[in-house]
Chain A
């Protein structure tokens, strides 16, 4: 851009905004440093005319005396250093070292806003990440280059699940070029410490860069933190061919900071007070993800969104779902019932799964098994609802087999330990084991071949592997 310029004194402060009348040379989006009141504060130019500049400050503005400030226009947008040596380090929300070590030596300095990837430069993501978690691998396969959020609720084990995904993805697919970028957005010290310890205990810390904007850090900084972190993630994935997994927790805090800023700027509020551009703003983060044609690296995002009031229609999870490629939803009732991971299978979906699975990728029967499990489990919900009204005794025999299937599915297929790594074969076989609780004619989403090869349940005679007793329960007699 151009050289830096210092201006003495601002005209006034309006909420988070600093107005400089008479200064007509600010560049839109230019980084600004405000000096002369303790720690320097950062901000950027929000609007610039030939008569005035309006600056949005990321820190607190309380107690600032406008006339006594020195405002330094830095002549460029916010740029941060990026380097592979940032792995293993801890940074604050603006990318400054927080671990007492010297700043990293920059390989490049990049604009934190990144630049949108040309859609034709992208390669379509198709390589499944093996996480060893059945609820993910079998039913909601994560693909390298995908953005798959955990939509959760306060107090649910989303952190445990996110950490498990990161750790096991590394173990199950040992890969030299695997890195984690962990981004805390208004999280508690405990949450940050939890991840840190899990990574440390498993030796992942040296491949992890942590960017921490904690609950007691300036909320406005939170708007910059994910952009700083994603700048490093992009550098690793697209300049150094790393497979990068970015964990963002918690996007709800991020959106709240954005809402607060919008309110203080007196913008027209949208739904629940969030600004109308929340979709676009979130998209500028979530879309920084994917794979490139001709590149070996990938950038995968797992944002964590705690749904206020467990409400999936709340603007933050809703708009997240509109941008990401599916969602893994955690359910409170399941968790209360002791299930881990408490994945609400019917509300969860991985949109990139279909091209990441099957013959040569996972196993030929994967798509059919998953489809059948979904369909059967949807029926389980119907039957359970009915059973609470009319009682189990009044159900048809077929319906009762669905109840049995539902139990097996939750207790054997979904349930697993926090450090258990299941192979995809094991997960698929468990799926068949649950399906075998159902009569074969109920399994309309799997083909004959697959049925014959894997089904172990009540088959009528010749078809399958199992021999069936001659007398058939006709299923309807009362």
Chain B
């Protein structure tokens, strides 16, 4: 690290420095006596503009600026999983030094200093390109950490560490390039924060990320490698949904970026996740999770960087051949950070004060989602789910509008549903997904036969219901014929018994595919059976009395997730009871008395 210039001007997170040594764009610098971390965002005529990632009060003109000539980078290697970082990848746990705050200029390695059991998988003598697999380290019980040749390096493997303990900073392999230069490859590698990692090619999405949320999986699915936006007014359930996905979705690695949001929410994740286990392995969920926490009161420039810090780590695990899901809560706060810095630079504002490059930044962010063939030929993916917080819930504002251009699924949260405590408050009219066709094959095979038809039929029920709603509001449902009142009734059961899902319920928090399909089948069949009965002249009153709605509505909670056969049985029972109605037989006695299910 050497001194490269001196502070000439300071205002908030933006500093201008007069340089003695020229600096490149995106180079990392340290500013002032306290060595505050920063990054060069403009550099010309011997002057650099720096965004500083820490609070700058007390900084004065004339203080020195240092650089080591490298871009702002993340550290990549075993030990990322389970940790919590700030926006520039400082490990928050290790920055805790007695006090409750974060000391200015505090620095700590992102990765813990420890040894890892290394298992090589190649022999010296091989020609290895960038991205090739060298061996593996068991990072957590859930994730095997694959050690790869860095993308830009390649050559003949001249040495590889034998199986056994390897220290964090050790070299694990030496490659000799055709020109004779030797490259030492370490367990820990560095990568520029803002640079996408190279891949061989992009692939088509063919399977869903199973979110465990019925309303999403059924109506608005997201494909592995897809991008979804989650806009909603305050309190509508963005964070709870993001947390639910981080806990319950079937991605292999989760990167959760809390970007400009609440400290207590991060505390909640840290309190909850260690106790939650992966249903497949029984291991703590934290073993597949990386948290980036740059809360709303932490420096705004680091909030801007936090998204890229998260992405770089996500792509790193993707390159090992994992399916990674990145949740960003909230991208609006990230956009506001851009706006704030642009304002300090007195850049020309475009819409609502945001800089003109807002759309291209958003595009570049969501474009990094995708399924890829990695440099080593493996298949990996990054799926991005970005929460959006539109002011006043007004979705015509720039961030929501531009985000919609670059994402193919929109999960729009409705204030009305939320205030009626219908969660997840995904409005089925305003939301959409273009991934339905891509994932249908998977659902038919893995979820249950007839998925495509069932979801179509269920959507029809909701649509008919939506069409009746304005009429009901005018004349009341009593004035409608039985046929239409049954649509209202069936839609209510579908919403209550299927779409509504309680994130806090031990069973219902995440619903596996087979149970989803069986439940969906039940509510769709119920609608059809009832419709046919009413058409055959059975009065709605009798149909209603034959139904134990309390029991049907609680099936999602009462039936265990790993064995949905009770749902199938309930459907069979329903078909039998309703067939009896049609035959003109009296409803079985006792039904009226709403027997208590146990």
Contact = CB atoms under 8 A, between A and B. Distances in A.
B540 A115 contact: no
Interface stretch (B64-72, B96-104, B151-159): B96-104
A444 B9 contact: no
A385 B469 CA distance: 13
A24 B18 CA distance: 14
B296 A283 contact: yes
A475 to B, nearest CB: 8
Contacts, number: 242
B401 interface: no
Interface in B542-567: 544-545, 549-550, 553-554
Interface string A440-478: 110110001000000000001111000000001010111
Given A28-B59, A48-B10, A378-B420, A116 B298 contact: yes
B235 A386 contact: no
A24 B62 contact: yes
Interface in B85-104: 92-93, 95-96, 99-102
Contact of A375 (B394, B421, B597): B421
- Which of the four size classes fits the interface of chain A? 35 or more
Contact of A444 (B62, B394, B550): B550
Contact of B57 (A27, A327, A478): A27
A25 B12 CA distance: 16
B353 A119 contact: no
Nearest to A374: B421
A47 B9 contact: yes
A257 B88 CA distance: 33
Contact of A119 (B12, B266, B349, B596): B266
Contact of B554 (A111, A315, A367, A444): A444
B57 A28 contact: yes
Interface string B253-294: 000001010111011101100000000000000000000010
A371 interface: yes
Interface string B190-212: 00000000000000000000000
Nearest to B296: A283
Given A268-B343, A277-B340, A394-B478, A27 B553 contact: no
A16 interface: no
Nearest to B266: A119
Contact of B476 (A113, A352, A371, A389): A389
Interface stretch (B135-143, B177-185, B385-393, B517-525): B385-393
A222 interface: no
Contacts of A336: none
A49 interface: yes
B340 A118 contact: no
Contacts of B12: 28
A110 to B, nearest CB: 11
A35 interface: no
A116 B592 contact: no
Interface residues of B, number: 83
A145 interface: yes
A460 B421 contact: no
B8 interface: yes
B11 interface: yes
Contact of A30 (B58, B296, B352): B58
Contacts of A323: 262, 296
Contact of B352 (A270, A287, A476, A478): A270
A24 B271 CA distance: 48
A270 B545 CA distance: 57
Contact of A49 (B8, B57, B234, B393): B8
Nearest to B474: A389
A448 B598 contact: yes
B263 A287 contact: yes
Contacts of A276: 336, 339-340, 343, 352-353
Contacts of A277: 300, 336, 340, 343
A67 interface: no
Interface in A1-49: 1, 24-30, 46-49
Contacts of B270: 119-120, 124
A478 B477 CA distance: 13
Interface in B49-78: 55-62
B473 interface: yes
Contact of A118 (B92, B299, B545, B596): B92
Contact of A50 (B61, B339, B544): B61
Interface in A253-289: 267-271, 276-277, 279-280, 283-284, 287-288
Given A120-B84, A120-B96, A321-B234, A280 B263 contact: no
Contact of A77 (B58, B102, B300, B349): B58
A256 B473 CA distance: 41
B263 A119 contact: yes
B60 A28 contact: yes
Interface stretch (A58-66, A96-104, A190-198, A343-351): A343-351
Contact of A121 (B96, B233, B554): B96
A443 B340 CA distance: 49
Interface string B557-581: 0000000000000000000000000
A463 B544 CA distance: 20
Contacts of B95: 118
A116 B55 CA distance: 10
Lowest 6 CB-CB distances: which A-B pairs, in order?
A: A29-B57, A283-B296, A115-B101, A313-B392, A47-B11, A378-B420
5 contacts: A271-B392, A276-B339, A283-B297, A318-B234, A463-B596
Given A287-B262, A441-B594, A444-B553, 4 more contacts: A49-B10, A77-B57, A118-B96, A279-B336
